Amino acid sequence: MEHRSSQLTARRAEPADRTEPARTRRAVLLPGRAPVQDSRAVAYDPGAGADSVRLRAARVLEDNWTGTSTVPSRGLYPHQWSWDSAFIAIGLRHLSPLRAQTELETLLGAQWGDGRIPHIVFNPSVPLDAYFPSPDFWRSSTAGRAAGAPRTVQTSGTVQPPVHALAAWLVHRADPGLSRARGFLAGVYPRLAAWHRYLLHRRDLGGAGLASVVHPWEQGMDNSPCWDAPLARVAPAPARSFRRADLDHGAPEDRPTDLDYGRYVRLATDYRDGGYRDGGYRDGPGAGGAFAVEDPAFNALLIASEHALADIAGELGATGTARRARAERLTGVLIERLWDPARGMFFCRDLRGGGLVPERGVSGLVPLLLPTLPGEVAGALVRTLSGPHFGDGTRLVPSYDLRGEAFDPHRYWRGPAWFNTGWLLERGLRVHGERERAGALREAMLDTADASGFAEYVDPYTGEACGAAGFSWTAALTLDLLEGRDSHDTGADRSAGSNRSARSAEAAGADGAEGGDRG
């Protein structure tokens, strides 16, 4: 699959849809290219001054832009990351819808033949020792040949949470005229549909319908205490067999331990040496494989993106009925498999160990964003979010139980607050009518993001910056929060496009397919 990035900026943007609010036009400068007119680039308020939050956030994204995508940070993460790019596109749409579309198209240009979207797309101009695991570790074009890895682009073989269809829909909504003129949704829809088929079929390792992750890196919250028990079965790779580049940019006390990292490397090595094949599992002790977990946030994002794909199908002339039905069915499976009413939140299911992992992670709150979640489940999640495990004197929502034995306010995903999970929870609160709580969380996130220098993550109590500074998704989601919400953004209006009578054969084939190979 070839990159389309060489074609993207060559197309002229068309005028915005007349039904959308007009914004000042400005030229967006892409490195090494002539200015491209972007019809919906944001007009900064001159009265706010050069030091406004919006301008500072925009500068972060400009500094991290490579010409076709955005790196999470220049030092620690010098390549393109999958779910980072989705969140980045959600913010970029307020600065440049064209650039936001390009962000997603570049990522999807590295999709594998089996449908997976790899969690890292490597920049060949970056030295190999700048990040580990590097392309020579993953060997995607050779080890992933049977799974359809691209031959001309080097990637990882693992995946990340499927927030991409939601991002694509929101990017379209930012400038429907530009999107339609470029054929943006028509271009990304088949790839997103193939991505969902991969997760719903090849990653249904438990056999109940939910997607499983086979590595902590895939879930995105890779150092969470929720993984401690499943990882304990994994023999770590010898410390001498790899060099951690992350410690060149982050304090060791804020990063995963060498023991945990050794286990990550072992899992990735075994997955690579197995040709990145996804095997079947059965619940209970003795199931095959060292690590296979059904995670609530990963599956909630898959369900939310199924709703978004239904909206995209409607825009393309299809009904999206099958996707909405699937999203509602999967919501029921999520509750059946991962919901604990006694503790008022969702938990991970360890397919290898045969039960729910009894650790309270922020992942268990993320399903709040689902629009068809039953009222009693949503209400319990709101109470848990505000209760002693996540809301006891904190500024922002911690990534792990404040009362848990493994809580650490500074160590990667073991307690610090992250802005992407905060954004998802703010969205969920609005979806379920908790506007006052959502507003309070929004204001706290905006204040903390700016004060921390758009940090990667922060101490949930003090807001002290941790990890990388000038982090792209922090800046991008700050921009999105500054813009506010509408019904299309919150998911409150799920009828968009559902009453269209026309259904093209091409769209029907993409929307209705339950399996098969991607075209």
Report the distance separating Cα 347 and Cα 360, nearest Å: 7
Predicted model pTM: 0.84
| Residue 241 CB neighbours (<10 A) | 11
pLDDT digit string, tens, across residues 456-514: 999 999 999 999 999 999 999 999 999 976 544 544 344 333 332 233 333 333 333 33
- DSSP class per residue in 61-108: HHHTB-SSSB-SBTTTB-SEEHHHHHHHHHHHTTT-HHHHHHHHHHHH
User: At which residue do the structure tokens 């079929």 appear?
Assistant: 201
249: pLDDT strictly greater than 90: no
User: How high is the pLDDT of residue 83?
Assistant: 97
403: pLDDT strictly greater than 70: yes
18: pLDDT strictly greater than 80: no
Report the distance separating Cα 71 and Cα 79, nearest Å: 5
Banded model confidence at residue 279, pLDDT cuts 50, 70, 90: confident
Q: Is 400 helix (H, G, I), strand (E, B) or coil?
A: strand
Mean pLDDT of 264-292: 76
457 — phi, psi (to 5°)? -155, 170
Task: Calculate what percentage of the chain has a pLDDT beyond 90.
Answer: 71
Report the distance separating Cα 237 and Cα 87, nearest Å: 32
Mean pLDDT of 108-133: 95
Nearest to 214 by CA among 269, 262, 165, 260: 269
Say how many CA atoms lie within 13 Å of 414 toward its Cβ. Answer: 17
Q: Is 212 helix (H, G, I), strand (E, B) or coil?
A: strand
User: How high is the pLDDT of residue 259?
Assistant: 81
Mean pLDDT of 389-401: 96
CA 41 to chain centre: 24
pLDDT digit string, tens, across residues 423-439: 999 999 999 999 999 99
pLDDT digit string, tens, across residues 48-91: 432 489 999 999 999 999 999 999 998 889 999 999 999 999 99
User: How high is the pLDDT of residue 413?
Assistant: 94
Mean pLDDT of 103-110: 98
Q: Which residue has the higher pLDDT, 396 or 47?
A: 396
27 — phi, psi (to 5°)? -85, 130
4: pLDDT strictly greater than 50: no
The answer to whether 385 touches 363, Cβ cutoff 8 Å, is: no
Strand 80-81 and strand 212-213: the pairing is unpaired
Nearest to 353 by CA among 423, 291, 437, 301: 291
pLDDT digit string, tens, across residues 343-383: 999 999 999 887 999 999 999 999 999 999 999 999 999 99
The answer to whether 294 touches 211, Cβ cutoff 8 Å, is: yes
User: At which residue do the structure tokens 């903390």 appear?
Assistant: 448
Report the distance separating Cα 18 and Cα 38, nearest Å: 15
Nearest to 103 by CA among 164, 36, 160: 164
- Catalytic residue IDs: 222, 456
141: pLDDT strictly greater than 60: yes
Banded model confidence at residue 253, pLDDT cuts 50, 70, 90: low
User: How high is the pLDDT of residue 1?
Assistant: 36
329: pLDDT strictly greater than 90: yes
User: How high is the pLDDT of residue 260?
Assistant: 82
Banded model confidence at residue 245, pLDDT cuts 50, 70, 90: low
